[in-house]
Structure 1
Amino acid sequence: MSVLVNLGGQLESEDTAVALAAVWEVFHLCGGVADAVAFEEGSDELQALVASQKCAAARDLVPLPTTGSAVPVPLPGPGVDGLDPYVRLLAQVEETLVRLAGTADSVGEGAGQVLAEAASLASGAAAALAAVREGS
């Protein structure tokens, strides 16, 4: 879980490059988690697929990190509680992207709109991932 804590701290960074690299990593990580739990007994495969697709679409909107390597995708713990840290991390990504979107147009025209779209996808991915194990 230290990876999740580290990513959470990086999302709060005032350095835009650090925050966006963490955003990319969270989308990669949470998309992988959604893929991993999709076919578990009692999981809602459709919600897992939605979460995975939204993470992939959002990840494609943010720049690829220029340093480091992708974080490994762990298997989450059982039940709804096992997915909760990833859902919270996606919610934190949404907050980070909204914050960055407010200043992004100073970097490039339309950048704020792209980050706002990624924030919306993060919100949808969080909701879908939260619903994957609701019935189990």
Structure 2
Amino acid sequence: MTTLTALDERLDSEETAVVLAAVWDVFGLTVELCDRIAFDEGVDEFQALLAGQKADAGRDLLPLPELGEPVTAPSAPGTTGLEPYVRMLTHAGESLERLLATADSVGEGAERVLSEAVELARGAAVALTRVRSGDVK
């Protein structure tokens, strides 16, 4: 099972701790990926750095995972292989939204943090879609 497939499954978990750990890992993989590709030929380094910064900020909002093992990004996919990472960021944001919608008693502080993490996941996904030079949507 690939790292991305395993994360995808964890993002659909019913357990809050599993989902939060998976989102934390998605953000971490995105930071690692953006660091690897930022200065590759044909890459808009600003968008790559922006995606990495948003992912890093999202990861900083979440608690350290209490379970699982650290994950590392597969070898750098180049600019043509970024779509799985964009989908993973989108899925991470959707999973956080699901946590917000289904939590019985999310405190005001936790609600704010999760909402901010959703926006950062969305922003990182958008920036990652624009990484190829001239690919502005």
TM-score (norm 1): 0.91
Question: SS where residue 60 of structure 1 aligns?
Answer: helix
Q: Deviations over 1:66-111 (max 9, x none)?
A: 123321122332333x000000000001101111122447143321
Which has the larger displacement, 126-135 or 44-53? 126-135
1:133 deviates by: 1.7
Q: Deviations over 1:12-58 (max 9, x none)?
A: 11111111100000000011101110000110000011000000100
Contact kept? 2:3, 2:73, Cα under 8 Å = no
Within 5 Å, which residues of 2 pair with 1:9-48?
9-48=9-48
Partner of 2:78: 78
TM-score (norm 2): 0.90
Contact kept? 1:76, 1:83, Cα under 8 Å = no
Say if 2:125 is the partner of 1:126.
Answer: yes
Partner of 2:65: 65
> Structure 2 regions of 5+ residues with no counterpart?
none
Aligned partner of 1:101: which letter?
L
Partner of 1:109: 108
> Structure 1 regions of 5+ residues with no counterpart?
none
Which has the larger displacement, 95-104 or 3-12? 95-104
**In 1: Cα distance, 2:15 partner to 2:133 partner:** 36
Percent identity between the aligned chains? 55
**In 1: Cα distance, 2:51 partner to 2:79 partner:** 17
**In 1: Cα distance, 2:109 partner to 2:103 partner:** 8
Aligned length: 135
